[in-house]
Amino acid sequence: MEFEPQRIPDVVLIRPRLFGDSRGFFFESWQRREFAQAGIDVDFVQDNCSRSARHTLRGLHYQVEQTQGKLVRVTSGAVFDVAVDVRRSSPHFGKWVGVELSADNQFALWVPPGFAHGFLVLSESADFTYKCTDYYAPAHERCIRWDDAGVGIDWPLAPGVAPILSRKDAEGATLADAQTLP
């Protein structure tokens, strides 16, 4: 595997080694020893999956207690995946990283604790999986608006196309008003 720190170095793009032939392909999606050697030495406690239609935007979610690190991947389709640093003490506070994850490229993204996370579905639909380092805690979940001008995410939406949002995501706070992490 190749581990490529992003412009916020705590966020890491993982490129697996694919072994393919006429039957298909094989790759290791997670291997504790390799991840630990790359500085991602974590225990995962929960795996989640979602399926979403084109233009669905989920996020930007995080927990203020029981913070979760997430190893995210797309198993069908394609998404634009985003991590926003919500740690006030970080030199990258309020900055974001965005990458395309797809079933074609098989990349994964490590989103460490202290980051809000979200994604926009680029394909007809997408199946999205993620491993979490702590359990979902709804009482501690927070949401930042996807279109917060203070964060300035450049979502790849065609002109005139609005994302499909849940009520929770549509009512997210701006980063300036959100409860963030120390």
Q: Which residues are catalytic?
A: 61, 130
Residue 73, burial from CB neighbour count under 10 angstroms (0-12, 13-18, 19+): buried
Q: Are 173 and 80 in contact (CB under 8 A)?
A: no
**3-state percent breakdown (helix, strand, coil) of the chain, nearest 5:** 5, 45, 50
Running DSSP on this structure, what letter comes out for residue 138?
Answer: G
Residue 100, burial from CB neighbour count under 10 angstroms (0-12, 13-18, 19+): middle
